With several copies, the nearest count.
Chain A
């Protein structure tokens, strides 16, 4: 079996310029630079930096360079021009709202350094490669010997000899290895201090005068770790995600928007996925993943229904609730309340079973809803309704 390294956990991606701030805070050398939201601001930063600068789109997507989101500018006017082209640009469906303007560096060589939490070994794992500047998964596929993986025992943290071993794999020149040892050590410090699930420097460059520097930075933060680090929550770029997902997060719902037309509202992540799969099985396409969680709070049901109904693609909405801790009557009350206060256009079909099932059926019947007890039936019916709409 191929050794697969998986990033574990829900996570918050932050922008390159934010990641570089975290790096700078622990002492990792990064080029001077600032973020701009207007072309004039970009020109001012370029002026202040002097010399050649790089204007880089700040979006949560790879391949910015290929998409024309990264440009060199030799003077402030050119930086303004590039910024005006890049701001507002769409990259992989995401609109660019910010550019990072940094001093350009003369690059002698490019390497890769990354650390993430590996679920198989349940520990942080470093991956480094002297082949930097390109996608590390590509290097892994085409030239696996060019990557060194090193697991960090969480009881000891990254030990000095391990940091040196990583650096020694990157550079045969002892002066460069010494700098890289320090950078790797600091990267691990930033990784743990900010509860990251992933932190990456790509490329880590050697400049013309032999300095090792982080040119691009990518960091994902473990959402569970954010609780203890409220300062990091401010790094979240709400503009970079669909509005429905922002609303879901605020309502404490697990939600992922998809492209289909059958809206799904389920309690429990596994059951929610199985419900989506069943939609597909019966010939439909799910419009979303949504888990209302274990709570019986009717407010959550209301918020869930509103989020699903606000998607114009949705042609039918299905509820699939297995009452264990969640009480079916609470969910039923939430559905009735939501449809009373908000206009929900698509038809709603409901399956409820388990705790307080009988009371729930009564509530729904009184409000004019009919309900199923089998999962297959409700999904088949929802797909049919969506197809007919």
Chain B
């Protein structure tokens, strides 16, 4: 098993003819994902060719893509000015799971788009996230498949490359993953840590979880509290940004300490108070996971 995406995933790529969209469509198809449709307004009727000879039909609208191909998952590679609209279009077309890679969507637009997604009963991952991968089953987004391998660990993170770092180490140590999820670095995102922990709890193949947070907000603290009460599986945590100054944005729009709130210390303390094993350095994550798996 895996969470959010697996072999049942039927993917539509929004922005398939763009630079990023076309590159990653090839990568996703290569990782075994069933890419069933692409969307680019005005290019409906064209075809996107993938390497194994597959031909992905392109539609003007997600609505048509869903009706023609039965797509149930969407990934968004459109420019930030159109990305909130693309998210709403996907939700409106009945897409159940939407992954927004785009960085730089205005926060007030996301506030509205996220409300729309909830009203339509869809789930959004991201924006400003690397997507997710269920190794050997499906990949949606941009996580390099070659650093992953199937196995018993669920990974969830606000970061991209820091996640790759952790996953790469796990894989090199022979420890595979059920699903690796990047929830995104923006202050307003669709799927948070608790959502992912909850999905991992219900996934019988996930035996332990890596949770990688960073400064800004209270998502990690709430997740830790939730985990203590509800999870019943071991969690190894890491927080980036112990040396970040307050009031400055550390790359991610959401990685900012406001006043005295959202510091790494606060989050680490919450992890410890709630039974999450804390790695001081990224390299310790693998050791702690081994311990928690008893290997």
- Per the 8 Å Cβ criterion, residues 147-201 of B in contact with A are 147, 157-165, 168, 185-188
Contacts of B215 in A (CB 8 A): 273
- A173 (CB) vs chain B CBs: closest residue: B42
Contact A274 B282 (CB under 8 A): yes
> Of B3-11, B203-211, B228-236, B256-264, which stretch is located at the interface?
B256-264
Range class of the B interface residue count = 35 or more
How many angstroms from the CA of A230 to the CA of B162 in the assembled complex? 34
Interface flag for B116 (CB, 8 Å): yes
Interface flag for A161 (CB, 8 Å): yes
Interface flag for B293 (CB, 8 Å): no
Interface flag for B240 (CB, 8 Å): yes
Contacts of A195 in B (CB 8 A): 106, 108
Interface flag for B242 (CB, 8 Å): yes
A-B contact count (CB 8 A): 242
Interface flag for B287 (CB, 8 Å): no
Binary per-residue interface labels of chain A (355-389) against chain B in the complex, 1 for a CB within 8 Å, 0 otherwise: 10000000000000000001110000000000000
How many angstroms from the CA of A325 to the CA of B86 in the assembled complex? 23
How many angstroms from the CA of A177 to the CA of B108 in the assembled complex? 28
Contact A154 B115 (CB under 8 A): yes
Contact A174 B107 (CB under 8 A): no
A366 to chain B, nearest CB (A): 26
B147 to chain A, nearest CB (A): 7
How many angstroms from the CA of A137 to the CA of B243 in the assembled complex? 24
Contacts of B238 in A (CB 8 A): 274
How many angstroms from the CA of A13 to the CA of B21 in the assembled complex? 34
Contact A273 B218 (CB under 8 A): no
How many angstroms from the CA of A267 to the CA of B258 in the assembled complex? 24
Contacts of A309 in B (CB 8 A): none
Interface flag for B112 (CB, 8 Å): yes
How many angstroms from the CA of A227 to the CA of B217 in the assembled complex? 25
- Per the 8 Å Cβ criterion, residues 252-281 of A in contact with B are 254, 256, 258, 266-274, 276-281
Choose among B81, B186, B187, B259 the residue that contacts A228 (Cβ–Cβ < 8 A): B81
Interface flag for B80 (CB, 8 Å): yes
A270 to chain B, nearest CB (A): 2
- Per the 8 Å Cβ criterion, residues 102-161 of A in contact with B are 117, 119-120, 122-124, 137, 153-156, 159-161
How many angstroms from the CA of A224 to the CA of B204 in the assembled complex? 40
Contact A174 B42 (CB under 8 A): yes
Contact B61 A165 (CB under 8 A): yes
How many angstroms from the CA of A222 to the CA of B110 in the assembled complex? 12
How many angstroms from the CA of A326 to the CA of B23 in the assembled complex? 13
Give 6 CB contacts A-B under 8 Å: A4-B261, A6-B261, A155-B115, A269-B252, A270-B255, A324-B160
